[in-house]
Structure 1
Amino acid sequence: MAKRILICDDAAFMRMMIKDILTKNGYEIAGEAENGAKAVEKYNETKPDLVMMDITMPEMDGIQALKKIKAMDPASNVIMCSAMGQQAMVIESIQTGAKDFIVKPFQADRVLEAVKKAIG
């Protein structure tokens, strides 16, 4: 059975890019969210194998959403995505329990390497 992934990014273009990389490599998209609050909601609804989470988003940022998801499901797998220059946030997200982080703009092989490392 294909691994199910929830994509969370406020930029529709970024969600589309990630979705494209993942579906071409046999992963199933469990859902999409445009902010952290929606990501937490969708995580509860879909129970995905992995969440790809942007750090900087409106309403609730990725780190707050990561904390909420980890509180609900300590076994959750989350990979954070960030633009350059967000080192402090990247460190905080790893300390909060993110499995990995990917720097934008995405390289397909780096996305797949992170996903394979997190959920096999």
Structure 2
Amino acid sequence: MNKLEIMIVDDSALIIKKLGAMLEQMGHEVVKTCKSGMEAVDTFRYLKEKGLPLPDLVTMDITMPEMDGIAATRRILGLAPDTLIIMVTSHGQEQMVIEAIEAGAKGYVLKPFKIEKLKASIDQVMSRYKKN
């Protein structure tokens, strides 16, 4: 798979660090991290307004303060409909995953995640949705 530019959205610094390390180990580049859904939406709005490249993929936590990942997914897709978003969620949040998919997320990975599961989820989303 080609190297992807990825934005991580999570309110946990530990998850951002762990996820970032795994993504880089897979050969991808983390181009931006955001600590809330609102920050992610603001970042997309800024990139669009400036005509700057958008990330190839976004990993989005569901449960965050200020704006949850489901609302952020809806808002980001309103700004950039082709954005590929994978939800990162804890076990026991199946209903929220369904809501996130209905909001436009293309996949999900469960915490605590392993690199193999993360890679499989990214590969599946990229092969199914990436426009060349």
Superposed, 1:81-120 pairs within 5 Å as 81-120=88-127
Residue in 1 that maps onto 2:21: 20
Q: How many residue pairs are counted as aligned between the two chains?
A: 120
Give every structure 1 segment of 4 or more consecutive aligned residues whose post-TM-superposition deviation is greater than 4 Å: none
- Whole-angstrom distance in 1 between the partners of 2:62 and 2:122: 17
Offset at 1:28?
0.8
Q: Deviations over 1:30-61 (max 9, x none)?
A: 10000000111223435100000000000000
Name the stretch that deviates more: 19-28 or 1-10: 1-10
Q: What TM-score does the superposition give when structure 1 sets the normalisation length?
A: 0.94
Residue in 2 that maps onto 1:60: 67
Name the stretch that deviates more: 81-90 or 55-64: 81-90
Q: What TM-score does the superposition give when structure 2 sets the normalisation length?
A: 0.86
Secondary structure of the corresponding residue to residue 76 of structure 2? helix
- Whole-angstrom distance in 1 between the partners of 2:109 and 2:67: 19
Superposed, 1:1-80 pairs within 5 Å as 2-44=3-45, 45=47, 47-80=54-87
Structure 2: any 5+ residue segments left out of the alignment?
48-52, 128-132
Identity of aligned residues (%): 37
Asked whether the 8 Å contact 1:6–1:43 carries over to 2, the reply is no
Q: Tell which structure's C-alpha radius of gyration is larger.
A: 2
- Whole-angstrom distance in 1 between the partners of 2:96 and 2:37: 15
Offset at 1:73?
1.2
Offset at 1:95?
1.0
